[in-house]
Each structure stands twice: as C-alpha cells, then as structure tokens.
Structure 1
C-alpha cells in the first residue's frame, strides 16, 4: 500500500493539485486531503482508486526498503 508521502510526491512529479487527483481518481477532495495529511486511514477502495489514477499517469511506486520508499515518473511526457 502506498503512503501519504508517496501520494504527495507523485502529485508533485505530475504537477497535479489535490483537486486534479481527486477528479482523476473519482474520490472526494476531502477524502484525499485527509489521506495525505495522514490523519485518517482511508478505505481500501479509495487508496486503490488513487494509486490506479497515479499509475495511469505514469507514476511507479517504490516500496520501502533499505533505501526508503519513493516514487518515479516512468513517462515524463505524461
């Protein structure tokens, strides 16, 4: 599962606002803002929708490990 920091980083790579991501993931802006703040555990379906929207835009999530978690943009033209 991706972390709130990874979601914020992915949005930054894409240059998307919270509203843009919420629209593309078809989730509420309020749910996304709460998720990114780390103040609430979101529904699995919300997390999956957000992760899928970012993946469609070319974001790859790097799992936490010895070198830490991260994100990268696979297609800079996205």
Structure 2
C-alpha cells in the first residue's frame, strides 16, 4: 500500500486518521507521517492499516499498467445477482 492509496482508501469510506488509528492499532502520528510520505513504516504497520481498511470494504488494486489504486468492494445485492 502506498501513501496515496491510504489517503484515497480513507476518503472512499469517509474514515478519519483518528478512526483508522483506532481500527488498526497504529498511532495517528504514524499514519499522518506515512500519508505525507515523511517516513516508511514497518511492513507489519502497513499490513495493520491495510487490514483495517479492507475490513470496512476497501479493495486495493495492484499496479497493473493502469497504476495502483483503491475501490470499494462489490456488494452481493448488485443488479443481476441474487
């Protein structure tokens, strides 16, 4: 997960840094520094942030020629699925 993916993911689900800190167990200061690209946290910290965001419906899109990104997970009640 990149800093811009973290910012975008939070925006998609209207999650503040404070709320992400509570959900992930990562200090708000660490989240803010990561999102500003001031520091690169440990991999376990990134994993905790990613897991917390995935738990509220965010999907992370890998770099695949179109650039890394985020989207909301599809809902099973969408048209055509029963």
TM over 0.5: yes
The aligned residue for residue 59 of structure 2 is 60
RMSD: 1.2
The aligned residue for residue 16 of structure 1 is 15
Task: Structure 1 unaligned segments of length 5 or more: list them.
Answer: none
The structure richer in helix per residue is 1
- Aligned-residue offset at 1:65: 2.4
The aligned residue for residue 73 of structure 2 is 74
Larger Rg: 2
Name the structure, 1 or 2, with higher relative contact order (CA <8 Å, separation 6+).
Answer: 1
Distance 2:47 2:19 in 1: 16
Q: 2:10 aligned with 1:43, yes or no?
A: no
The runs of 4+ residues in structure 1 deviating greater than 3 Å are none
Distance 2:55 2:16 in 1: 16
How many residues align structurally?
Answer: 75
The aligned residue for residue 78 of structure 2 is none
1:45/1:39 CA distance change after superposition, 3 Å? same
